[in-house]
Structure 1
Amino acid sequence: MSTRIRRNTLADGREILLFQDADSPTAPLAEDDRPAEPRPTGGQLRFDLLTGEWVAVATHRQSRTHLPVAAECPLCPSAPGRPTEIPVADYDVVVFENRFPSLGPALGEVTADPRQHFAEAASESALTAPAHGRCEVVVFSSAHNGSFADLDPGRARTVIDAWANRTSELAAREGIEQVFVFENRGEEIGVTMNHPHGQIYAYPFVAPHTVITSARAVQHRRETGRPLMGDVLAFERSSGERMVLESAHFSAFVPFAARWPIEVHIVPHRQVLGINDLDDAERDDLARIYPEVLRRIDGLYSTPTPYIAAWHQAPVNCEDRSAEWMHLEITSPRRAENKLKFLAGSEAAMGAFVGDVSAEETAARLRVATLAHVDGRR
C-alpha cells in the first residue's frame, strides 16, 4: 500500500503535506492566499546543570490559539471568506509546520552537555543554545468533532503512513537526534484545540526520559544478550493478567509497574526502531488495534477520557540499535468518573509515583470495556 502525498507551502513559507486515503480521489491543492506574516524567530534552549537536561523557552507560544469555537477552528478546511491553516475545501490527513513551534524553525546541532564550556566561561551564554528543531501538527480528519478512536482502519492507516513518512524525513535532517510522535486529547491534558490532531517534535537532543530508558536497554542487552522490551513483552504475554488484547502483530497490556490510573502499552511483536520500520501487514494491524484500545479506554466512563499517546522511538544516533524496541504508551490521569490524579509532592518533586489503582484492576476493566460508541457523548 502506498499513501499518496501532495506537498505545498503556506503563505509564510511553512511546509504542508496532504496524505490521501487509498480510496480517496485526487483533488487539486489550493494555494494559501492569506497575507504572509513573519514567522517566529525561534526560542531558546537553556541547560539545567543539576539535571543535565535542556529546557526550551518559547515565549512566542503565549499568543497561540486557545480553544477556538468550531467556526474559528484553524484546523478545519478553508471556506470562502474564512481561510484556515489548511487551504483546501476538504482533506483526509494533513501535516504542517506548527505556527507556534516550541522548537525551530531553524535546524542545527546542539551540544549534548555544555558543562565544559560553562566551567571555562561560567556565563549564561555557555548554557544557552538556539532552540533548533521542528514541530509539526498532524490533523487526522477534516471533521471538527471526533477522535482517533473514531477513525476507520483505512483512515488510521493513512495517519500511520504519515507518521512513518515524517519520522523518516525528520530523522534525516540536520541536528535532529530524536523524533517524537504524540497526541494529547482533552482539555484536562492541556489541549488548546479540540479538532482531532496530534503533533510531532523533532528534538536536537535526546529527550530526558529516553536517555534513561535507552541506557537501561543497552545495559540489559550487554548483560543478557537480549533486548529489554522483548523480555518485558514475553513477561506480560506469559502472565496474561495485565493483557488487554492481542493481535497478529501487537500486544496491548497494562504494564506491571503502571504509574497512571489508566496506562496501556502497545508493543509490536517484531523488534523495530520506529514507526517507519513497520511493514504493510503491521501497519494494517496497528490501524485496527490502536483505535480499539482507545475505544476501550473511552468505554470505562460515560464521557471521553483525556489521554496522552506517546510513541517511544529509538534515538536517531542510538548507542546500540539491537537494544532498542519501539512502542506506544497511552496514559491518562483519570482515576474515577469525576476524579483526576494530580502530580503532587512525591511525583512532581521527586519523580516517585504512587499508584491509585493496580495494573491488574485496570487491565481487567479494559478487557470487558464496551467497544460501542455513543454518538451523543462527543
Structure 2
Amino acid sequence: MKITPTRLSDGRELIYFDDDPDVLAGRVTRELHDPRDLPETVAESEMRRDPLTGQWVTYAAHRNNRTYMPPANENPLAPTTPGSLPTEVPADDYDVVVFGNRFPSFSTSIAMPDDPADYAWTVDGQDLYPRRPAEAACEVICFTPETTKSFRDLPLSRIRTVVEAWTHRTAALSRIDGVVQVAPFENRGEEIGVTLQHPHGQIYSYPFLPPRSRQILENAREHRAATGRDLFDDMLAAEHRAGTRIILSTGGFTVLVPAAAKWPVEVMVVPNRPVADFTGLTQDEHAALARVLKPLYMAVDRFFEGVERTPYIAAWNQVPVQSRLTGDDESLRGEGRLHLQLFSLMRSPHRMKFLAGSESAFGAWISDTTPEAVAERMRAVWPDDKEWQ
C-alpha cells in the first residue's frame, strides 16, 4: 500500500491510501493540488456536562448548514474529473482516501479567545454546568470512487486497504492532545440520516469517554475484580458453549449476535485474543479481518427479503488512549477490546424501529425479535465462499 498525504486549500489534511499496482509502481500519481479557494475551517463546537447523567453533550451548530443530498454532478466525495466541479478529492481517481471533515463536530481549530481565561468555562456562570471547547478531530474516509458501490462490493484487497487506513488514522488521531478515544464508523442509508450517498465512513476522535465505551470498561473492570478473568474472553467462551448465536468462527475472529442485543438486527465481530485497537492487529489479522467483513456485509444486505440495501450503522469500539485516563478512570486501564458493532434499525422489510418513549426517554429497550432468531437468519443468508472469494 502507498500512503500519500497532502493539504486541501483550507489547510485540512488529505491522505490517499492506494493499493493499485500502477500507483505502487509509480506509473500513476495522485493530484495533490486543490484548485479551490476555501476559507480556513474554524469550528465553534462546545461541550456541556449534564449534571443529572454526568455525560458530555456536544453542540456543533455550524453543521446545520452542511451539504445535504447534492445532485450527482456536485458530489463532494467523488474524484475531481476534467470539466467537472472540483470536489474534496483533487485526484481524478483514488482507491481509499481520508480527509478532515469540512463540517466537524470536534475540531482542533475551535474559535477561542486570545486569553483562555476569557472563555466561558461554565454555562451562564453556573458551576453546576461545566462547558468546554469540543477539541478533537473528525475525518471522512471514502471507501471507493464509485458512487453506486457499497462496502459489501469492495474486493478483499480494498477492504484490507480500508483496514490499513483505519489503523493509520487510529494511531495519528490518538496522538492529538486531549483525545481519549478514536472511533471509526459508517452510516449507510437515508433511513439512518445519511446526507451524502457516496460510500463513505467517518473517523471521530472524542475528547471524553463516550457512555457506551465507559459502560463496557466499567463492567469489564468489575468482572475482572470478581473473577480474575477477562470479560471478553468469558463472553466468547460462553457463546461458543451455547452455539446458538455464533454466525462464524475463525482462528482470529468470532462473528456473533449478542445475547442481549438491543437492535432489530445486531452483529458483533470480536478478535479472539485481547486487542486494544486496530494498531494491535498483525498484518495477518488485517487480511483475516477483510475475509470476515466481506461476507458479513453481504449477509446484512440479504437479511430482509425485498430489501437490496439494509440501512445500518457499523461502529468500531476501540479501547481509549490509556495515557489519557486520569483520576477515577485510571482503574479502567487494561480493560476492553476492539470490536465491531454492526446494527440496523430496520425491524422488518421497509419498516423501521422508532426509539419512542421506553427507549428514548428511559433507555429501557424492548425488542420485537430475539438474538437467536437473528443469528439463525444470518447463518441462513451467509454467502458461500465461492460467492465472494
TM-score (normalizing by structure 2): 0.89
Q: Note the 1:123-202 alignment, pairs <5 A.
A: 123=127, 127-202=130-205
Superimposed CA distance per residue, residues 229-249 of structure 1 (whole angstroms, 9 cap, x where no aligned partner): 111111112211111112221
Deviation of 1:172 (Å): 1.2
**Structure 2 residue 375 is the aligned partner of structure 1 residue 349:** no
Which residue of the partner structure matches residue 73 of structure 2?
A: 71
Which residue of the partner structure matches residue 5 of structure 1?
A: 3
Match of 1:122 among 121, 126, 130: 126
**Structure 2 residue 259 is the aligned partner of structure 1 residue 256:** yes
AA in 2 matched with 1:13: G
Farther off after superposition, 43-52 or 153-162: 43-52
AA in 1 matched with 2:91: V
Q: In structure 2, what is the Cα distance between the partners aligned to 1:325 and 1:41?
A: 32
Deviation of 1:118 (Å): 6.7
**Structure 2 residue 312 is the aligned partner of structure 1 residue 314:** no
Q: Note the 1:199-348 alignment, pairs <5 A.
A: 199-301=202-304, 302=306, 303-317=308-322, 318=325, 319=330, 320-348=332-360
State the secondary structure of the residue aligned to 2:6. Answer: strand
Deviation of 1:18 (Å): 0.5
Q: In structure 1, what is the Cα distance between the partners aligned to 2:231 and 2:110?
A: 33
**Structure 2 residue 55 is the aligned partner of structure 1 residue 53:** yes
Q: In structure 1, what is the Cα distance between the partners aligned to 2:265 and 2:55?
A: 28
Q: In structure 2, what is the Cα distance between the partners aligned to 1:103 and 1:216?
A: 28
Deviation of 1:42 (Å): 2.8
Q: Are residues 118 and 195 of structure 1, via their aligned partners in 2, closer, same or farther at CA, if it must alter by over 3 Å?
A: closer
Stretches of 4+ aligned residues off by more than 6 angstroms: none
Farther off after superposition, 39-48 or 153-162: 39-48
Deviation of 1:281 (Å): 1.1
Identity percentage of aligned residues: 43
AA in 2 matched with 1:175: G
Would you say the 8 A contact 1:107–1:133 is kept in 2? no
Would you say the 8 A contact 2:6–2:32 is kept in 1? no
Deviation of 1:36 (Å): 2.6
Q: In structure 1, what is the Cα distance between the partners aligned to 2:360 and 2:43?
A: 32
State the secondary structure of the residue aligned to 1:188. Answer: helix
AA in 2 matched with 1:167: T
Superimposed CA distance per residue, residues 48-90 of structure 1 (whole angstroms, 9 cap, x where no aligned partner): 1111111111111011011122221100001234100000010
Q: In structure 2, what is the Cα distance between the partners aligned to 1:107 and 1:348?
A: 31
Q: In structure 2, what is the Cα distance between the partners aligned to 1:145 and 1:230?
A: 39
Q: Are residues 242 and 68 of structure 1, via their aligned partners in 2, closer, same or farther at CA, if it must alter by over 3 Å?
A: same
AA in 2 matched with 1:36: L
Farther off after superposition, 339-348 or 309-318: 309-318
> Unpaired runs of 5+ in structure 2?
112-120, 385-389
> Unpaired runs of 5+ in structure 1?
109-116, 373-378
State the secondary structure of the residue aligned to 1:127. Answer: strand
Q: Are residues 28 and 310 of structure 1, via their aligned partners in 2, closer, same or farther at CA, if it must alter by over 3 Å?
A: closer
Farther off after superposition, 262-271 or 23-32: 23-32
Superimposed CA distance per residue, residues 157-203 of structure 1 (whole angstroms, 9 cap, x where no aligned partner): 00000000100111111111111111100111111111110001111
Deviation of 1:363 (Å): 0.6
Q: In structure 1, what is the Cα distance between the partners aligned to 2:193 and 2:51?
A: 28
Q: In structure 2, what is the Cα distance between the partners aligned to 1:137 and 1:118?
A: 31
Q: In structure 2, what is the Cα distance between the partners aligned to 1:197 and 1:218?
A: 34
Which residue of the partner structure matches residue 31 of structure 2?
A: 29
Deviation of 1:106 (Å): 3.1
Q: How many corresponding residue pairs?
A: 360
Superimposed CA distance per residue, residues 293-326 of structure 1 (whole angstroms, 9 cap, x where no aligned partner): 1111111222210001111100112544432211
State the secondary structure of the residue aligned to 1:367. Answer: helix
Q: In structure 1, what is the Cα distance between the partners aligned to 2:182 and 2:159?
A: 20
Superimposed CA distance per residue, residues 4-55 of structure 1 (whole angstroms, 9 cap, x where no aligned partner): 2100000000000110116352413330010132313331111111111111
Q: In structure 2, what is the Cα distance between the partners aligned to 1:164 and 1:263?
A: 24
TM-score (normalizing by structure 1): 0.91
State the secondary structure of the residue aligned to 1:322. Answer: coil
Deviation of 1:370 (Å): 5.4
Q: Are residues 100 and 118 of structure 1, via their aligned partners in 2, closer, same or farther at CA, if it must alter by over 3 Å?
A: closer
State the secondary structure of the residue aligned to 2:191. Answer: coil
Which residue of the partner structure matches residue 84 of structure 1?
A: 87
Would you say the 8 A contact 2:41–2:109 is kept in 1? no
AA in 1 matched with 2:358: S
Which residue of the partner structure matches residue 111 of structure 1?
A: none
Q: In structure 2, what is the Cα distance between the partners aligned to 1:217 and 1:174?
A: 26
Q: Are residues 169 and 107 of structure 1, via their aligned partners in 2, closer, same or farther at CA, if it must alter by over 3 Å?
A: farther
Which residue of the partner structure matches residue 113 of structure 1?
A: none
Q: In structure 2, what is the Cα distance between the partners aligned to 1:187 and 1:36?
A: 28
Would you say the 8 A contact 1:133–1:175 is kept in 2? yes
Q: In structure 2, what is the Cα distance between the partners aligned to 1:24 and 1:235?
A: 47
